[in-house]
């Protein structure tokens, strides 16, 4: 009887331990990189998407998709031809094979990823997306699901409501917590760029763990907090050369 009881206790403890381990934050499965396009265009003014940017265009007041990057970062160029890899590394993105995407997805991607005009989607697919799925449609559809949630959140409202003003990383992380749950803000890294002495917020990278879906909060809180020192804050740049 004691032997049976001991086994039962051990199984119970083992089961509880397994549950605790499975719910504990872990290394990110993917990083979502989102840009503040006006800041990007300050230093890339000759790119097509920057020459055509206007204050009424979507990316003037919403986050732009940079890319969804499977982790670790060494996962890249999965099953991609050497010819396309070399084209990519030389920045010849428009020479990379055209992607087969549905018309609806292509239209939305062009809106949310302004770099589409320069072939950014081809670069992101062969370098990162090829290690995420065997179908470009799924890779970009999942990316757009995440972008829809971010652009409908208090985080986006913080940026849109402070164009031309300075905001801090503390404010950004508080807006993340409000948007996706307490602790979400610790999973975002704030990156800045210098523009003639002005410090601009240029990009946010979000650590995600789990299968990509609409529950962004769960994906964030399943990942370990970012352990790098972030930019302390900067200006939310308006459209146009300042």
Task: Calculate the average pLDDT of the chain.
Answer: 91
The predicted-structure confidence for 82-115, as pLDDT tens digits, reads as follows 999 999 999 999 999 999 999 999 999 999 999 9
Fold for 27-235, please state it. Ribonuclease Rh; Chain A (3.90.730)
Task: Quote the pLDDT of residue 125.
Answer: 98
- CA gap 38, 19 in Å, rounded: 45
Give the helix/strand (H/E) hosting 34: strand 30-35
Task: Report residue 20's pLDDT band, with 50, 70 and 90 as the boundaries.
Answer: very low
Helix/strand/coil for 56: coil
Q: What are phi and psi of 8, to 5 degrees?
A: -60, -45
The Cα 107–Cα 58 span in angstroms is 13
- The reported pTM is 0.89
Question: Can you give the pLDDT at residue 180?
Answer: 97
Say if residue 19's pLDDT is above 80.
no
Contact 218, 206 (CB under 8 A): no
pLDDT at 189 over 90: yes
- Express each pLDDT in 107-153 by its tens digit: 999 999 999 999 999 999 999 999 999 999 999 999 999 999 999 99
* Measured CA distances, 94 to 90, 132, 216 (Å): 11, 22, 32
Hey, which residues does 101 pair with through a beta bridge? none
The crossing angle, in degrees rounded to 10, of helices 136-151 and 103-112 is 50
């Amino acid at each position: 009887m004691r032997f049976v009881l001991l086994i039962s206790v051990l199984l119970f403890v083992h089961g509880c331990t397994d549950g605790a381990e499975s719910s504990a934050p872990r290394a990110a499965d993917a990083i979502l990189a989102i840009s503040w396009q006006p800041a990007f265009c300050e230093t890339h003014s000759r790119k097509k998407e920057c020459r055509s940017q206007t204050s009424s265009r979507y990316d003037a007041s919403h986050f732009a998709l940079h890319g969804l990057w499977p982790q670790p970062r060494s996962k890249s160029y999965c099953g991609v031809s050497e010819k396309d890899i070399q084209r990519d590394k030389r920045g010849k993105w428009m020479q990379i094979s055209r992607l087969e995407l549905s018309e609806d997805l292509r239209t939305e991607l062009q809106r949310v990823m302004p770099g589409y005009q320069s072939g950014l989607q081809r670069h992101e697919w062969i370098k990162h997306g090829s290690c995420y799925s065997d179908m470009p449609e799924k890779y970009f559809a999942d990316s757009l699901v995440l972008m829809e949630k971010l652009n409908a959140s208090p985080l986006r409202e913080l940026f849109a409501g402070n164009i031309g003003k300075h905001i801090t990383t503390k404010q950004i992380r508080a807006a993340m917590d409000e948007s996706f749950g307490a602790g979400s803000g610790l999973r975002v890294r704030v990156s800045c760029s210098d523009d003639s002495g002005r410090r601009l917020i240029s990009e946010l990278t979000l650590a995600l763990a789990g299968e990509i879906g609409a529950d962004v909060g769960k994906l964030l809180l399943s990942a370990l907090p970012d352990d790098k020192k972030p930019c302390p804050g900067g200006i939310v740049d308006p459209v146009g050369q300042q």
